[in-house]
Amino acid sequence: MVDWIGEKLYNKYGAQSVGVWDEYMKKFGLGVSTESGLPKEHKGIIEYTNIEQAGSYLASMAYASFGQSGKYTTLQLAQYTSTLANRGERIRPQMATRIEDQNGNVVKEFEREVLNKAEFPDQYWNEVIAGMNTQGLRAFEGFKYDLARKTGTSEQSVGGKLVENGVFIAFAPRQNPKLAVAVVIPEAGFGSQSAAPVARKIFDAYDEVYGLDGTPHPKKQDENGEDGDGD
């Protein structure tokens, strides 16, 4: 990652490389508010701008390349995943589609709102999305949709002890995506083993009610009223 990203940016921009990196991160919603409207929303913690701590601009870019100099909330990761799915469009998170009064009259509706767009050639998006492959992920065995995903393990200091959090981001279907998901399981180790199974349940639940292909796929019930496999 250092050779592909950090070092190349440093060689091109020198001392300005950190600022260029930071600009890219913010376009994807990392290090800025998601603008969800939630009270006291955290913007995350950015450490790659602390050149003295890193030791040099190149060292700062090296840490940033591995994602070790940024700490972000799960909602920020979800917005980031959605931005990838939408090929650069950063969408404001909505907690509801509408507000109704006690009589069922619509008081307010919430529409899709694009906060900003990261502009890149289509070939760049194609390369990134194609690289988010699903092969070998046990939690999604038998999943009938083409899933774009990334697993990870983030380190965090808790009470002076370094712990590893399981992280998983994904959207589906890969083409014409309907749902973007981010899951973080504290102190759970590898994301593929801890966070991915939780994400699978979220995708399955969405598919049952709304349909990842646009058609709901509710689970069938057997004669005893227990859930069975859907179509």
Tell me the domain boundaries of the chain.
132-231
Cut 0.75: pTM above it = yes
3-state SS of the chain: helix, strand, coil percent to 5?
A: 35, 20, 40
163-185 residues labelled b (16+ CB within 10 A) or e (exposed): ebbbbbbbbbbbeebbbbbbbbb
Mean pLDDT by 10 residues, the chain (231 residues): 85 94 95 95 93 92 86 96 98 94 95 96 95 86 94 85 93 96 94 95 97 92 58 48
| Helical pair 57-65 and 17-27, crossing angle rounded to 10 deg | 30
- pLDDT of 146 reads 94
What local confidence, expressed as pLDDT, does residue 65 receive? 85
**pLDDT at residue number 224:** 59
Predicted confidence at residue 155, as pLDDT, reads 84
pLDDT score recorded for residue 223: 55
**pLDDT score, position 43:** 95
Q: What's the pLDDT at 221? A: 66
